[in-house]
Amino acid sequence: YLKKEQGGSLGSSIKWNFTKFLVDQDGKVIHRYAPTDTPESIEKDIEALVNKN
């Protein structure tokens, strides 16, 4: 489901198991992050989503 909803630079495939997805409370994929993205680098996106709801 996640691969279908938010493709990446390699299409819908997942390069490794460290690919991250930001999903809202309704299960909608908001963003897909590369395995090289750190949790700290996506913190603002997470906070924005939490504060939005």
pLDDT number for residue 8: 53
The tally of domains found in the chain comes to 1
Going by pLDDT thresholds of 50, 70 and 90, the confidence category of residue 18 is confident
Location of structure tokens 């709801």: 53
CA distance readout (Å), 5 to 22, 31, 37, 40, 51: 11, 10, 19, 24, 23
Prediction pTM value: 0.70
Residue-number span of the structural domain to which 42 is assigned? 2-52
